[in-house]
Amino acid sequence: MSEALATLPSELSARDVRLWVEGDRLRLSAPREALTQDLHSQLSERRFLGGDLAEPLLRGRELWNLYGPTETIVWSTAHRVERSEAIVPLGRPIANTRVDVLDPRGEPVPLGAPGELFIGGGGVARGCRFRPDLTAERFVPDAFATVPGARLNRTGDVGRWREDGVLEFLGRADQQVKVRGFRIEMGEVEAALAALPSVAQAVATTRTSGDEAQLAAFVVLRPDAEATVPELRAALKERLPAYMVPSSLVLLDALPLTPTGKVDRPALKAIQEDGGAPRPRIVPRTVMERLVAEAWREALGHDPICVHDNFFDVGGHSLLAMRVLARIEGLVGQRRTPRELIFQTLEQFAALLERASPAMGGVRPRDAVLGVEVVP
């Protein structure tokens, strides 16, 4: 007779998995939290050393992702996890349960669009005992029900329906950020990264550049992958609109974790401020390169800048590009186009300016206001 092990993904260790497998427990349920890609990888691909177990842990066994908050009798959706899945979805609603994906106005979103998850049906509780404030916040009238007085549980989770009718988890509503006027679900960015063949893990976050927020992402590649940051960014541009592609992509050997096994976001922030792992960088060398680099720093609000950097790859966007071009025009008297900035590195752009004004590298003596030393 098979047994089932019910636990939270964040509380499940490799040792627990090993005991579960050796004890012939054939089903693992992970309620109340989204099943992470890392845990899925442990169970389906990795081999634990130091024992007799040498085959993938899920061979001949089942892994089910069961999702739902306590307010809806714990489980509301179910999905049998397949080893080949790059992203583990929430699945489909169980019997007598309905899941709605709604926009801020309470209207259903189009297929594939992100929205907040609301759960209705026979499993929805009456409310939070002795907490009328929480009851009012989490239980809202069900405008789509045929039963009078029915209510929906507002989960605070964000998801979307796939074309095959399966529900996909994107993150928490409180992880939504606004960048350049666009509302962005961090989970959607992470899901797009995790779907790339070369990516094992990905975390999206924000950083402050000057007076505005910018997207940043940290990526751990699969052991046999050799993808570069430009390749990852190009792949993302095929999956996401331009405003959702992170300005900064940092490759890590492993994500920093807390003692409980969750991603240590403060540690990521420290990595972000340090500019990620050390890598060879060539600082601006000529007068013109230093002038262009300083104009970039003013617009981007961060340093260091390498001559092989592309303005848009280090956090730039169209509005900042216009600011940089106006600054350059005021300094060297040349009007350049955004296209020239988009498709060239700092070194190439500076060389373009120098060719147009070869006598003094395009710099006039009075323009040392940027802190660039000008030698007549």
Q: Give tens-digit pLDDT for 305-327.
A: 778 777 776 767 777 888 888 88
Percentage of residues in the chain having pLDDT higher than 70: 69
How would residue 229 be classed by pLDDT, with cut points 50, 70 and 90?
confident
Q: Exposed, middle or buried: residue 177 (CB in 10 Å: 0-12, 13-18, 19+)?
A: middle
The answer on pLDDT for 5 being more than 60 is no
Query: Domains in the chain, start-ordered, CATH in brackets?
Result: 4-171 (3.40.50.12780), 180-274 (3.30.300.30), 287-370 (1.10.1200.10)
Closest CA to 39 of 81, 76, 70, 3: 81
SS3 117: strand
CB 171 within 8 A of CB 186: yes
Residue whose C-alpha is closest to residue 26's, from 3, 56, 59, 53: 3
pLDDT band at 9 (very low <50, low <70, confident <90, very high): low
How do beta strands 212-221 and 248-252 pair? parallel
Average pLDDT (98-112) is 93
Helices and strands per DSSP (H, E), number in the chain: 10, 15
Query: What does the block give as tokens for 50?
Result: 């130091």
Dihedrals phi, psi of 66, to nearest 5 degrees: -110, 120
Q: Residue 129 contacts by C-beta under 8 Å, 6 or more apart in sequence?
A: none
Phi, psi of 213 (to 5 degrees): -90, 145
**Tens of pLDDT, residues 116-163:** 999 999 999 988 888 888 899 889 999 998 888 899 999 988 899 999
Rounded to 10°, the helix 318-332/287-300 angle is 140
pLDDT digits (tens, 9 = 90+) for 77-86: 998 887 667 6
